[in-house]
Chain A
């Protein structure tokens, strides 16, 4: 990337990062009732009265994802092809959500209209060949069609796994595994100033994913160490290959958490269960991501850091809105979201977007 493009991208990221939620803003939002919240976020039109609660939740989720993807499309414009590919690969997880929805629909023979309603509407660069996939008759045919496009490697791997094991879980795990492996591979191909911050950024993401998968596979699903290790994606940061080989052999949650490297071990010092671990590792990732956003000089790393934080903010808003729509008690909603995990810059100013203005 040229110096001018770097400067432009960095400026854009700096301007856009004023939209991120600070802990104060997040706390402020937590105190609002649903009508007030939707009004401040300008989302009343999205949740029309005649829609069912499920449809309203989907509409809100779609609106928030569109907000995120609009930011993606703005930020990738000045990027070079490799940088753009990395950011789009990160955003491609929403296409994978659609793919999983389609797969589940085929596996459990769900009503086509219900499947269609649950698919996200994505921009052209991320979109699956939806209609073609939709009209396939079974999962194998779906994966074979998918092998003709940009997901060819992922689809081939998933199909081979499914043909061998015929387990829906194995299929979804293979898709996730391929997604994160591809992200890690693309990151390691970078050179120069962007490599280190990207390693740290994607490393923090993979550390979080690996820790949670490891705990879930080992202690919730009782997988063997071998099987657990196979499902993981070595991180370029804390949970690298050798560390994972050591950790998956631990006998229980406490032993595994104690064996974690610093600073994760300190963070997990008195964590008792998976929910607490999840809360803390998400906070750790948010902190690392904020560090890249505020300290790094690499445009692409900062842009990706901004998008990750933005996604966390939008998920917080979604949790608040969803809780409100489902009529959950406020203390339950509050306990489900941790505003301290969010918030980008301490000096965040008011932005022009509805989401920023909401705070």
Chain B
């Protein structure tokens, strides 16, 4: 990976952004420049205009549903003037579109008021009130019938009382209250108009001829009004569809233009400059550098300079890491990312993770039948699982392979001849195999961790950090001593010296890095040293679970067959089906969790920092979903 610094004229920035986006190999570096003179931010106006235009297009898309994905056939530069003009155009279009939105809202509101009116009249019918009398405003009586938001009723009641009126809250529906306000006509009447406006009062007029019409006629009137509103809505929808057709091309053009302008906006935090000079920094894979230079030469009209250099030791944590693109490894890569992204220079643990994951899963859940079910289920659900289908199929195949090794099919161990042996045949050998597997895994993980620290220039860490070279020496000495103890009855001189020497080195290293009273330092160093011994011992024993689960798998199958033998034909079939389902779901799930645990805690914690960040190059959003930014 190379650090590049591109110096160019400000007016060439849109072209540069397009060229960089086209190569898809430029990861912006947004650190502020070291030179104080480059403190200006030349792309700020462009970003502001873009953000407003994007927002307007999104709002239009909300109203007219722009479902098409525009293809970017001709890549071209969108300069600030064009973007500004587009923004103005979108502003005008949004104004038109927002009128449609408001009109739909208006129809909804009218429908709501109509429903409230129907409810109010039904209520009055029950009260046997002469609505005709209420409709005739008299010289002496002033009254209002309508709706107010429920939370305003109490205050409005006080206010109308001050104007000499009475408020009757006769019905409540949703968040609104139906009220009648009544009082003497006169001077104070004028005070109410303003209060009612502040209270969000909405009049519910009493329909014409209310006293002369039969209930059926009134119902027919309301139906007619509902139909009229529906017609208005349909007409408006048609107008909106026509509007969409009329403006389809400019809207698609606008979408295209914004997609082309987007790279410069994405780059904005990384652009600095002074007067007409702009400076842009980023990370580029070494192999892509020439293509990037060619792209810039092809697109830029004015002179530019592209400087490149290797990342400094200090910058290493900032250098992005290119992710694994292998399709088969993609699901494993996703699981690795749950722990973190490898730092630049570190070995990508994905291939090792995939291999060891499958080996451990297969050994812990080795069964031809169960493995085939897992693989088949993953294959059948490939549309839903997407990338993870490959993961499921690989786990199932691994389980099947180990099923052949153990001679197990759906827990039956006499149908297939074992290529090696059934786990329960010799459990001690199984445990020994798991122990050796664990030792090899830990040594490999520590070695990788040491290499990774060397690779990123962390020499002290490679030697003395947890799981560094001195730790590995201790572990090897510890293993040799353990072997001597088991075979010859004594720990042995050399292993003892290696163990004590490495522990002493670690203790001294810790002592030097501790601050505090001497007593506290002694305590911490003693506990940490003891912890090193316990951690390595327990970590090694932790791998015994690899064989423990293979034994568990066989034992569970025996339990199910024993149970099935005790029942009749139907019971046997049912027990076998449910039992195998139980093994598949529950044991399969537990095995998966245990393998992940071994990978994360015994593996990644030793060799993988996970504090890197992914290479995310600038690119054009081809065929992006309209309306989403």
Contact = CB atoms under 8 A, between A and B. Distances in A.
Interface of A: 112, 131-132, 135, 137, 141, 153, 156-157, 160-161, 164-165, 170, 173-174, 181, 223-227, 229-232, 241, 244-245, 248-249
B360 interface: no
A141 B198 contact: no
Given A160-B149, A230-B159, A230-B199, 12 more contacts: A135-B55, A135-B56, A137-B91, A137-B98, A161-B198, A170-B198, A224-B163, A226-B163, A226-B195, A227-B195, A230-B156, A241-B154
Given A137-B95, A137-B98, A249-B162, A227 B198 contact: yes
A241 B158 contact: yes
A161 B200 CA distance: 6
A160 B196 CA distance: 11
Given A160-B149, A226-B191, A226-B192, A245 B158 contact: yes
B511 to A, nearest CB: 34
Interface string B37-58: 0000000000010011001100
A231 B163 contact: no
A223 to B, nearest CB: 8
A232 B163 CA distance: 16
Nearest to A112: B48
Interface string B147-176: 001011011101111110000000000000
B61 to A, nearest CB: 14
A224 B56 CA distance: 43
B162 A245 contact: yes
Contacts of A224: 162-163, 188, 191, 194-195
Contacts of B161: 245
B155 A230 contact: yes
A156 B149 CA distance: 10
B162 A157 contact: no
A73 B149 CA distance: 34
B615 interface: no
Contacts of A249: 162
B607 interface: no
A230 B157 CA distance: 9
B589 interface: no
Contacts of A131: 51
23 contacts: A135-B52, A137-B91, A137-B95, A141-B98, A157-B152, A164-B198, A164-B200, A164-B201, A170-B197, A170-B198, A181-B151, A224-B163, A224-B191, A225-B162, A226-B188, A226-B191, A227-B195, A227-B198, A229-B158, A229-B162, A230-B158, A230-B159, A230-B198
Interface string B518-533: 0000000000000000
A157 B98 contact: no
B94 interface: yes
Interface residues of B, number: 31
- Most interface-central of B91, B154, B163 (chain A CB within 10 A): B163
B94 A137 contact: yes
A227 B51 contact: no
A239 to B, nearest CB: 13
- Most interface-central of A132, A157, A170, A249 (chain B CB within 10 A): A157
B95 A229 contact: no
B198 A174 contact: yes
Contacts of B52: 135
A229 B194 contact: no
B498 to A, nearest CB: 51
Contacts of B197: 161, 164-165, 170
Nearest to B200: A160
Contacts of B159: 226-227, 229-230
Contacts of A153: 151
A160 B147 CA distance: 12
Contacts of B160: 226
A277 to B, nearest CB: 22
Contacts of A160: 149, 200
Contacts of B163: 224-226
Nearest to B55: A135
B437 to A, nearest CB: 48
A248 B159 CA distance: 10
Nearest to B160: A226
Contacts of B152: 157
- Most interface-central of B51, B91, B159 (chain A CB within 10 A): B159
A226 B190 CA distance: 10
Interface string B387-421: 00000000000000000000000000000000000
B46 to A, nearest CB: 15
Contacts of A231: 198
Contact of A227 (B56, B98, B194, B201): B194
Contacts of A181: 151
> Which 9 A-B residue pairs are closest in the complex by CB-CB distance?
A160-B200, A224-B191, A135-B55, A230-B159, A226-B159, A226-B162, A226-B163, A226-B191, A164-B197
Contacts of A244: 158
Nearest to A159: B200
A225 to B, nearest CB: 5
A245 B156 CA distance: 12
A170 B194 CA distance: 10
Contacts of B151: 153, 157, 181
Contacts of B199: 230
A112 B48 CA distance: 10
A168 to B, nearest CB: 13
Contacts of B188: 224, 226
Nearest to B54: A135
A23 B201 CA distance: 49
Contacts of B195: 224, 226-227, 230
Contacts of B155: 229-230, 232
A234 to B, nearest CB: 8
Contacts of A232: 155
A214 to B, nearest CB: 13
B215 to A, nearest CB: 32
Contacts of B201: 164
A64 B502 CA distance: 56
A227 B197 CA distance: 10
Contacts of B94: 137
Contacts of A226: 159-160, 162-163, 188, 191-192, 194-195
B375 to A, nearest CB: 46
A224 B165 CA distance: 14
Contacts of A173: 198
Contacts of A229: 155, 158-159, 162
A248 B162 contact: yes
Nearest to A244: B158
A47 B24 CA distance: 43
Interface string B500-530: 0000000000000000000000000000000
Contacts of A156: 149
Interface in B77-131: 91, 94-95, 98
A25 to B, nearest CB: 39
A292 to B, nearest CB: 27
A131 B194 CA distance: 34
A165 B197 CA distance: 6
A181 B163 CA distance: 23
Contacts of A174: 198
Nearest to A241: B158
A57 B543 CA distance: 66
B499 to A, nearest CB: 48
Nearest to A173: B198
A172 to B, nearest CB: 12
Contacts of A225: 162-163, 191
Given A137-B95, A241-B158, A245-B162, A227 B191 contact: yes
Interface in B189-229: 191-192, 194-195, 197-201
